[in-house]
Amino acid sequence: MAAFSSRSTTLIALAVVLAVLGGAVEAQLSPNFYATSCPNLPTIVRQGMAAAVQREPRMAASILRLFFHDCFVNGCDGSLLLDGTNSEKAAGPNANSARGFEVIDAIKTQVEASCRATVSCADILALATRDGVNLVGGPTWSVPLGRRDSRAAFQSLANANLPGPGSSLATLIRMFGNQGLNARDMTALSGAHTIGRSQCRFFRSRIYTETNINGTFATQRQQTCPRSGGDTNLAPLDVTTADAFDNAYYTNLLQQRGLFHSDQELFNGGSQDALVRTYSTNPAQFNADFAAAMIKMGNIMPAAGTITEVRLNCRTPN
């Protein structure tokens, strides 16, 4: 009896320790995470993204950027999707810039109708990103799932962790390094700028003051991005094939037609020149490295101790 009670005490103690650790220890993500709990999930997300991209091809780009901005701020935890004054949406890199939230909301509504309180907003964003990229011509990959949503946003981390368009190569390598991503991952992920649009305010200084820029390209961009005013006027990130996910981002860089200072930093006589050349001639290599780096970025976990849940509405904690 004494032996039994001491063993059950040990088991109870062990259970308590495991429960406490449970908050900090992250389960491994798996592509099969919702295979039985929400078998229609991939179809629902794919259909939602297909409709959104058909309405507006740019939406593939906008959703892809949301995933990047979510994952770099306390991991891929859906924290970017929360509304409010202390939200990440209101942080410098996102305010009047991040877009596409209503597409995630619409998909979430469909997912909730099919599998209530089961699939995290963070996982919906990861899947929607993969489908958007693929729908506009990019590679596909199997998305590890099982992320949970944070209950809070991290506005100051959003201001600190996301690189700006004036960043140097050293800064880009350091900021991606802080997230566990190496220079090769950084250069592959930057290929995301083969789709989407930018506001004039982010590339104005480059097209008027920089010298490592193709003259015809600079003049072309100046037509819709004046020296003053027109801050929100849009230009394609990829001047060659604006809405197609291909390797033209890298062929543009070879011709000094990168839109942002930070883009051209990848091909400006530095450590990434050789890899940019490789991606410019080998689209299959780019696609493979991009998909691998997306999975790696998608595996960035929230800090230990982050309180998480499966949010019912992506804009508010439960």
Contacting residues toward ligand HEM, per CB under 6 A: 58, 61-62, 64-65, 68, 97, 99, 163-165, 167, 172, 189-190, 192-193, 195-199, 202, 237, 260, 262
Q: Which residue in 46, 58, 65, 69 is the catalytic one?
A: 69
Whichever of 38 and 192 has its CB closer to ligand HEM, that residue is: 192
Whichever of 38 and 237 has its CB closer to ligand HEM, that residue is: 237
Question: E strand or H helix at 5, and its extent?
Answer: helix 2-22
Tell me, yes or no, if 261 is annotated catalytic: no
Q: If you write DSSP's letter for every residue of 206-243 in order, what string do you get?
A: HHHH-SSS-HHHHHHHHTTS-SSS-TT-EEESSSSSTT
Q: Using CB atoms, what's the residue nearest to ligand HEM?
A: 196
Annotated binding site for substrate: 163
Asked if 181 contacts 165 with a C-beta cutoff of 8 angstroms, the reply is no
Which residues lie below 8 Å from residue 301, measured CB to CB, with a gap of 6+? 26, 75, 76
Annotated binding site for Ca(2+): 70, 73, 75, 77, 79, 88, 194, 238, 241, 246
- Least distance in angstroms from the C-beta of 275 to ligand HEM: 14
Annotated binding site: 70, 73, 75, 77, 79, 88, 163, 193-194, 238, 241, 246
- Least distance in angstroms from the C-beta of 209 to ligand HEM: 17
C-alpha atoms less than 13 angstroms from C-alpha of 277 in its C-beta half-sphere: 7
The CA distance from 183 to 47, in Å, is 34
- Least distance in angstroms from the C-beta of 87 to ligand HEM: 17
The CA distance from 10 to 131, in Å, is 48
Whichever of 29 and 61 has its CB closer to ligand HEM, that residue is: 61
In 3D space, the residue among 181, 166, 186, 165 whose CA is nearest the CA of residue 272 turns out to be 186
- Least distance in angstroms from the C-beta of 252 to ligand HEM: 14
Q: If you write DSSP's letter for every residue of 235-273 in order, what string do you get?
A: EESSSSSTTS-SSHHHHHHHTT--SSHHHHGGGSSSTTH
Whichever of 33 and 260 has its CB closer to ligand HEM, that residue is: 260
Catalytic residues: 69
